[in-house]
Amino acid sequence: MIPAKFDYVKPSSLDEAVRALADGGEDAKVIAGGQSLLPLLRLRLSYPDLLVDVGALDDLRGVVDEGSSLLVGARTTHYQVVHDPLIAEHCGLLAQATQTVADPAVRHRGTFGGSLAHGDPAGDLPAVVLALDGVMVIRGPGGSREIPAAEFFVDYLTTALQPGEILTGVRVPKLGGDWGYRYEKFHRTAQAWATVGVAALVRRSNGNVAEARIGLTNMGSVPLRASAAEAAAAGAEATRDALNAAAASAADGTEPPADLHGAPDYRRHLAKVLTGRALAAAAGA
Partner 1 sequence: MELEHSFTVPVPKNRAWDVLLDVERVAPCMPGATLDSVDGDEIHGRIKVKVGPINMMYAGTARFIEKDAEAGVVTLEASGKETRGAGTASASVHSVLEDRGAETHVRVKTTLNVTGKPAQFGRGVMNEVSGKLLNIFAANLAATIARDEGAGGEGGAAAGGAAGTEGSSAEGAAGGSAAAGGAAAQTATAGTAATANGVAGHAAAAPGTGTPVEELKLPPRATASLQREGLRTAGQVAAKTEDELLAIDGIGPASLVDIKDKLGELGLALTAGTGGPAAGPAQAAPAATPASAGPAAAAPTGSAPAGMAASAAPAASAAHQATPREAAHQLEDDALNLLKVAGLPVLKRAAPVLLAVAAALLIGLTRRARRRKR
Query: Where on the chain is the footprint of partner 1 (CB under 8 A)?
Result: 4, 29, 36-37, 40, 43-48, 118-119, 122, 155-159, 193, 221, 257-261
**At closest approach, how far in Å is the CB of 156 from partner 1?**
5
**At closest approach, how far in Å is the CB of 118 from partner 1?**
7
**At closest approach, how far in Å is the CB of 233 from partner 1?**
29
DSSP letter (8 states) at residue 13: S
List phi, psi (to 5°) of 171. -95, 120
Beta strand residue intervals within the chain, DSSP E: 7-9, 28-31, 50-53, 63-65, 69-73, 135-140, 143-148, 153-155, 158-159, 166-173, 179-186, 196-205, 208-217, 224-225
Nearer to partner 1, 43 or 231 (CB): 43
**At closest approach, how far in Å is the CB of 251 from partner 1?**
17
Nearer to partner 1, 169 or 262 (CB): 262
**At closest approach, how far in Å is the CB of 260 from partner 1?**
6
Cα dist from 272 to 103, 205, 219, 275, whole Å: 26, 24, 11, 5
Burial of 173 from C-beta contacts in 10 A (0-12 / 13-18 / 19+): middle
Strand partners, 203: 179, 211
Nearer to partner 1, 126 or 180 (CB): 126
Neighbours of 260 (CB within 10 A): 5
Nearer to partner 1, 79 or 193 (CB): 193
Amino acid code (one letter) for 285: A
**At closest approach, how far in Å is the CB of 12 from partner 1?**
24
Nearer to partner 1, 151 or 259 (CB): 259
**At closest approach, how far in Å is the CB of 159 from partner 1?**
8
Burial of 39 from C-beta contacts in 10 A (0-12 / 13-18 / 19+): exposed
Nearer to partner 1, 124 or 230 (CB): 124
> Following DSSP, what letter does each residue of 44-59 receive, concatenated?
T----SEEEE-TT-GG
Nearer to partner 1, 51 or 70 (CB): 51
CA 100/CA 193 separation, integer angstroms? 9
> How does strand 28-31 pair with strand 158-159?
unpaired
CA 87/CA 104 separation, integer angstroms? 19
CA 180/CA 90 separation, integer angstroms? 11
**At closest approach, how far in Å is the CB of 230 from partner 1?**
26
Nearer to partner 1, 106 or 210 (CB): 106
